[in-house]
Amino acid sequence: MSEEQNLTAQVQEVLDKLRPFLLRDGGDCQLVDVEDGIVKLRLLGACGSCPSSTITLKAGIERALIEEVPGIVEVEQVF
């Protein structure tokens, strides 16, 4: 497994832990890409149109990924 594949797998593992919290509120997220320490996510369902989605993305998902996956520096939302 390449370093990039390993990083992507680690990111997916963290997202899978967070997913139940998103689903509980009617949302979800999809991993689009991991490149140069930047995770690109698409917010789905209620999360895509929620006014608090930026807070969810930055304070929740980004913080968890930076803490748990070495090399991750930022999370970007893609549409």
Read off φ and ψ for residue 5, nearest 5 degrees. Answer: -65, -40
Tell me what pLDDT residue 65 has: 98
Distance CA 51, CA 13 (A): 26
> Exposure of 64 by Cβ count < 10 A (0-12 exposed, 13-18 middle, 19+ buried)?
middle
Q: What's the pLDDT tens digit per position in 9-66?
A: 999 999 999 999 999 999 999 999 999 999 999 999 998 888 888 888 999 999 999 9
pLDDT surpasses 90 at 2: no
- Whether 77 shows a pLDDT value over 90: the answer reads yes
Residue 31 in tokens: 């991993």
- Mean pLDDT of the region 70-76: 96
Please provide residue 61's backbone torsions phi and psi, each rounded to the nearest 5 degrees. Answer: -65, -50
Instruction: Specify the pTM.
Output: 0.91
- The CATH architecture that domain 3-77 belongs to is 2-Layer Sandwich (3.30)
